[in-house]
A and B are shown apart, each in its own frame.
Chain A
């Protein structure tokens, strides 16, 4: 191992933060190299001094009142936050309920329109959206039908009338 490589690994070796195999290699080099040994001792000593100073240092602490106030603040703040979350949650759910209801209503309408739709008497001429087409009835014809086709949705509504244009209520 070269001095350069050993110097690179030395700060980690000083705190035992390299694997055992690497540590053995660096130690072997340090034992044989006085300059690297001095460097390793220097790092170890600096670390020891910093740690000792940190232990001796007067650290800030909470007074009993401060600590109590902090705990009260934490609990009250937490409860307020959870209350806010709950309120927000309810508000956020409202559109989902509305969307579900709207979807349900649409499906219901679609089912009803299929169930109560009369038979389609042949292809209706495609014109503008919602255009009503009236069949011309020959004099001997008993029933007249009228079909409205929506170009947008494809929905067809068919009415059947008798000669006098009285709605019979019979679907054919």
Chain B
């Protein structure tokens, strides 16, 4: 219906995914504001690209794919901005160099970070994407590969390494859990 020009049909189409998409964006970006931006952009892009949607595919996975790409771009941008900020802070003319916290630090302080996010912080970007999609969103290996545009082998390799790192992070940060076993 949306494809035939009935734009009001878009909301019922994406409505069921408003929560899951925002949750995915949050788990990938680790920041509520970024997650909101990512999810918004994903919905806007989805509307614009509806004509290219392959009807044989799962609509939810297609949305997830757009959101994952968006989150990746955003994290890359944030990383670049952080590098620029840190380079500027290192310059001798920068006022109160080394003591002034960056926007990232402030954001991290204000962010309520749960245990799970701390464990996921040890993961690389690809490992994180694979772990979130497979273990938290419970997509299977093939769906995960399709969403991320990579092979099933690559998903398995990254998943294996992600699970090992999560286990190590929990052992390191919560030794009491390990002892209690």
Binding site for B on A (CB under 8 A): 8-9, 11-12, 14-15, 17, 41-43, 45-47, 49-51, 53-54, 57, 59-62, 67, 70-71, 73-75, 77-79, 81
- Chain B interface SS verdict (over half): helix
Give chain A nearest CB distance to B151 CB in angstroms: 14
Residue of B10, B114, B159 touching A57 (CB-CB under 8 A): B114
Q: Are B18 and A62 in contact (CB under 8 A)?
A: yes
Query: Across the A-B interface, how many residue pairs have beta carbons closer than 8 Å?
Result: 104
B160 at the interface (CB under 8 A from A): yes
Query: Please, could you name 28 A-B residue pairs with CB atoms under 8 Å apart, sorted by A?
Result: A8-B160, A9-B160, A11-B164, A11-B167, A17-B141, A17-B156, A41-B181, A45-B181, A46-B166, A47-B163, A49-B115, A49-B177, A51-B135, A53-B114, A53-B115, A54-B116, A60-B22, A62-B18, A62-B22, A67-B18, A70-B44, A71-B10, A74-B43, A74-B46, A75-B7, A75-B10, A75-B47, A77-B44
Q: Bound state CA distance, A75 and B10, in angstroms?
A: 8
Chain B positions 142-181 with a Cβ under 8 Å from a chain A Cβ: 156, 159-164, 166-167, 170-171, 177-178, 181
Residue of A50, A67, A71, A78 touching B119 (CB-CB under 8 A): A50
